[in-house]
Amino acid sequence: MARHEQISTTELTKRLLRAEPRALARTLTAIERRSPGVDALLASLHEHTGNAHVVGITGPAGSGKSTLVAALTRELRARNRTVGILAVDPSSHRSGGAILGDRIRMSESSTDPGVYIRSLATRDAVGGLSRAVLDGAALLDAAGKDVVIVETVGAGQAEVDVINVADTVVVVSIPGAGDHVQAMKGGLLEIADVHVVNKSDRPGAQQTAAEIRNAISLSVGDREGGEWDVPVQQTIASTGSGVSDIVHQLDEHLVWMLDHGTRAERARHNATTRIRWAAEELVLHHLRAGVDSFDAAVAEVAGRRTDPVRAARDLLRTLSASLAEP
């Protein structure tokens, strides 16, 4: 059994490194579900990661992110770059219709073997989605995609997760959304490496771009390093207007990061997160393996006969022995 799984993991790894769509789909489902064995698979892929330019795209509902991603993908394909897209949807039941529509529009790319697109959702516990995003991006990276786009639909935590995974963060706004620009302060404004004002054929595009530039210049003192000159790009994603400029800005940002050590810094941040999650996974596995003692501990804590920290300490004391090489 163990031998059989070993073989199929090796074979699956090969297929993933060749970016076979069915292997990718299967593995992304395993990532969403945190299926057993997915950690071993990701571990074996790890040495093949670090080559893709991971681009996070976020912004409010209705800002045309998906159309922008489609247009950006066309521009990247025109430059012969392969593209992997993860559409992250923390609340798929809410906007299922809209996403489906956008995805159908994207389907022009679906016959192109240089493009792989996949929605990512998880109803799992806290942190489940962000971990799936990080793992999914690493998978598409290992599969040799030149650019991995992580598009977040929704707000809040999903936007924050983009920072954890992306080399370059693109924040999308639309004209006349003065409230949005206000709301970005203290949040999206600081994390954006590239600002896009999409739907710039609508009235007020210039003003919104000016407001964003103004907000950036006011907050520039807070920017780490403070050297990357954040562009504010107007686009009309539906016609492709301005989209090639974004490709140019993404390239410039990647080069800037390489020059300034920022990319290595993000790689270390990424590694830190992954080691922490792996450690937590090992600990959880250990706790689950000792299910009887865990259940007993839960009963003790629920009955207020011991506190959670003491219970955890007692459960962990036997961990080291279980960490022998597999």
Q: Which residues bind a second copy (CB under 8 A)?
A: 39-40, 42-44, 46-47, 49-50, 90-91, 93-94, 126-127, 130, 154-158, 160-161, 183, 185-187, 264, 267-268, 270-272, 274-284, 287, 294, 297-299, 301-302, 304, 307-313, 315-321, 323, 325
Select 155 or 247, whichever has its Cβ closest to a second copy: 155
152: which strand partners? 88
Select 101 or 156, whichever has its Cβ closest to a second copy: 156
Distance CA 295, CA 301 (A): 10
Smallest gap, in angstroms, from Cβ of residue 325 to a second copy?
8
Smallest gap, in angstroms, from Cβ of residue 212 to a second copy?
16
Q: Are 180 and 89 in contact (CB under 8 A)?
A: no
Smallest gap, in angstroms, from Cβ of residue 154 to a second copy?
6
Select 5 or 307, whichever has its Cβ closest to a second copy: 307
Smallest gap, in angstroms, from Cβ of residue 113 to a second copy?
26
Q: Are 189 and 75 in contact (CB under 8 A)?
A: no
Distance CA 235, CA 64 (A): 10
Select 232 or 311, whichever has its Cβ closest to a second copy: 311
Smallest gap, in angstroms, from Cβ of residue 276 to a second copy?
7
Tokens of 22: 């069915």
Smallest gap, in angstroms, from Cβ of residue 40 to a second copy?
7
- Residue type for position 205: A
- Residue type for position 313: R
Select 17 or 183, whichever has its Cβ closest to a second copy: 183
Q: Are 28 and 42 in contact (CB under 8 A)?
A: no
Select 50 or 225, whichever has its Cβ closest to a second copy: 50
3-state class (DSSP) for residue 84: strand
Q: Where are the beta strands (DSSP E) in the chain?
A: 53-58, 83-88, 115-120, 147-152, 168-173, 194-197, 232-234
Distance CA 136, CA 284 (A): 21
